[in-house]
A and B are shown apart, each in its own frame.
With several copies, the nearest count.
Chain A
């Protein structure tokens, strides 16, 4: 299993009810797999997982990417700074 740290922001943070979450995931889990796991484990995030942006180690990551050990994973809606 790989240990990873999740960071939630904006609407995702509010729906998750927490800023961070640490968990162990299978070594071959992809971004898509992680989104499915969260949609399943945290019902409040189910809808958000359809449109969430995901980052792995502070770079945007896409569905097929495999998550490395000790990854820092960000999850958030499209950005709206400025």
Chain B
């Protein structure tokens, strides 16, 4: 299949993430399987420092974030050549518990050629190299959530 006709969607948006519309956009006539990851705002966290969350406020370095999402999609295609469509979407702004904040969708002809692994890789990489940050507001105050990944030259 020619890479040029494979749909790749990446966006930073303040709008609701519409899974139905995004899935449709990464579905080709040859597509038989999709793996979709979504992250949501957790209102109640138990692992580590157990606490409640009122909301998260996201910001992004938008033009660079879109370029890095494109890079994540390119990395996915290099690792799993069976992947047909890829969507990578991050919602920003003030987001409340239970709200989907991020989506990675990968499609392929069949379910056994990497769609699950590709979606997992996509969310892991987004959290490493795509310039987006969140500030958490809780009953006990507010703090910036900081990642721990230091990009290497060429990333």
Chain B binding surface, main DSSP class: mixed
Q: How many residues of B contact A (CB 8 A)?
A: 34
Set B67, B123, B132, B152: member contacting A80, Cβ < 8 A: B132
Q: Which chain A residue lies CB-closest to B68?
A: A58
Decide: A80 and B64 in contact? CB cutoff 8 A: no
Docked pose: A80 CA to B147 CA in angstroms: 5
Please tell me if the beta carbons of A82 and B126 are within 8 angstroms of each other in the complex.
yes
B-side residues, CB < 8 A to A, are 39, 58-61, 63-65, 67, 90, 101-102, 123, 126-135, 144-153, 155
Other contacts beyond A81-B126, A82-B90: 19, CB < 8 A: A7-B61, A9-B61, A9-B131, A10-B133, A55-B61, A60-B129, A62-B153, A77-B133, A78-B146, A78-B148, A79-B128, A79-B132, A79-B147, A80-B144, A81-B65, A81-B134, A82-B101, A82-B126, A82-B127
12 CB-based A-B contacts, threshold 8 Å: A9-B131, A10-B146, A60-B155, A76-B61, A79-B127, A79-B129, A79-B132, A80-B145, A80-B146, A81-B126, A81-B127, A82-B90
